[in-house]
A and B are shown apart, each in its own frame.
Chain A
Amino acid sequence: MSDHEQTKLIATAMNEGSPQAKALGFTTLEIGDAVAILKVPYRPEIVGDPETGVIAGGVVTTLLDHASGQAVHAAMETFTSIATLDLRIDYMRAAEPGLDVMARAHCYKLTRSVAFVRAVAYDRDPEDPVATAQATFMLDSSAGKKPGANLKPPREPRTKTGDAGQ
């Protein structure tokens, strides 16, 4: 199986297997060479401003995060678990009501522990973006964690108070 085929399988698993991605109807239009292009179809349930019918900023946030994650997988040679460390988004303009929104993400740097991604969200033309994003991901984020790890109580003692530092 080629790298591209494996990446496509990961993208499909991330869209079909992730309940939120599925609920929003994410599909991957293109993936490979550290780039992923995803689409969220417009529908009334995901509107953020009922007066204008504009899609919610939060939907664009989720699309950019998801596309960025797939770009990281498209940049890696073998599958590794990843987690978003931070995500900065600039909203340039409202998406046009009724139009699907796309996000193109590029993982432009991969280190041993961290991946760096830039992404752009658009409705018609990537040169006229709805939003741009910059994200970093931790690699091998599930190291030592087994499936279902989050169903158990957290490692931190629950009674701890007044200690925000880790």
Chain B
Amino acid sequence: MSDIDTRLVSMLDSIPYARFLGIKAELAGDEMTAILPFAQHIVGNPMLPAIHGGVLGAFMEMTALAQLSVAAPMKRQPRTIDVSIEYLRSGRPLTTYARASIKKLGRRIANVHVEAWQETRSAPIATMRGLFLVAPSEE
């Protein structure tokens, strides 16, 4: 396993809440796809049924944190400053994927955009923009 792989796996394994949601991740080079398998306990609206909007927000925030851990070794976990989530379509009972794009990784602040989709990448179900307080280790 590469350094990046190791960092990613140990990060997701170490976070209880990532395990609670069942979040996984796959790497292709430095491109990471976060995966949220469907499970009954992530449903918010049982009538439709639809995944809880909060879970989608949490999943996208976790995707941003994981992408930051892939991008650079950190002295400590980045802290979320703010997030802005847009809900585009309801989360159907299917596997959800997300990718994060780091718009800027500074010495203190990182700006990250995340998009989540299910069957069709071009029809995202939610997007997120987030600001994170980071502490990259000096190399």
Measured CB to CB, the nearest residue on chain A to B20 is A45
Contact of A91 with B16 at beta-carbon distance under 8 Å, contacts A62-B52, A86-B86 already known: no
Tell me which of A72-80, A109-117, A140-148 binds B: A140-148
Contact A150 B49 (CB under 8 A): yes
Contact A57 B50 (CB under 8 A): no
Q: What A residues does B80 contact at CB under 8 A? A: 57, 91
Contact B58 A62 (CB under 8 A): yes
Task: Determine chain B's interface SS by DSSP, over half rule.
Answer: mixed
Measured CB to CB, the nearest residue on chain B to A17 is B46
Minimum distance in angstroms from B53 CB to a CB of chain A? 4
Q: What B residues does A45 contact at CB under 8 A? A: 16-17, 19-20
Contact A150 B58 (CB under 8 A): no
Contact A89 B83 (CB under 8 A): yes
Interface status of B93 (Cβ within 8 A of chain A): yes
Minimum distance in angstroms from B47 CB to a CB of chain A? 5
From residue 72 to 129 of chain A, which have CB atoms closer than 8 A to chain B?
Answer: 83-91, 94
Band of interface residues on B? 35 or more
Contact B44 A20 (CB under 8 A): yes
Contact A51 B58 (CB under 8 A): no
Contact A59 B84 (CB under 8 A): no
Interface status of A1 (Cβ within 8 A of chain B): no
Tell me which of B1-9, B27-35, B101-109, B118-126 binds A: B118-126
Contact B44 A91 (CB under 8 A): no
Give A19 to B47 CA distance when docked, in angstroms.
11
- Select one of A21, A90, A161 contacting B52, CB under 8 A: A21
Minimum distance in angstroms from B13 CB to a CB of chain A? 10
Q: What B residues does A150 contact at CB under 8 A? A: 48-50, 90, 92-93
Give A143 to B37 CA distance when docked, in angstroms.
28
Contact A66 B54 (CB under 8 A): yes
The CB with the most chain A CB atoms within 10 A, among B47, B50, B53, B57, is that of B53
Measured CB to CB, the nearest residue on chain A to B76 is A51
Contact A20 B54 (CB under 8 A): yes
Minimum distance in angstroms from B90 CB to a CB of chain A? 6
Contact A154 B46 (CB under 8 A): no
Contact A87 B85 (CB under 8 A): yes
Q: What A residues does B90 contact at CB under 8 A? A: 83, 150
Q: Would you mind naming 8 contact pairs between A and B with Cβ atoms under 8 Å apart? A: A59-B58, A63-B54, A88-B84, A88-B85, A150-B49, A151-B49, A154-B119, A164-B122
Chain A positions within 8 Å of B, measured between CB atoms, are 17-23, 44-51, 55-59, 61-66, 83-91, 94, 142, 145, 147-151, 154, 156, 158, 160-164, 166
Given A49-B15, A50-B16, A66-B44, 15 further pairs, Cβ under 8 A = A17-B46, A19-B42, A19-B44, A47-B17, A56-B15, A62-B54, A85-B87, A88-B84, A149-B48, A150-B48, A150-B93, A160-B122, A160-B123, A164-B123, A164-B124
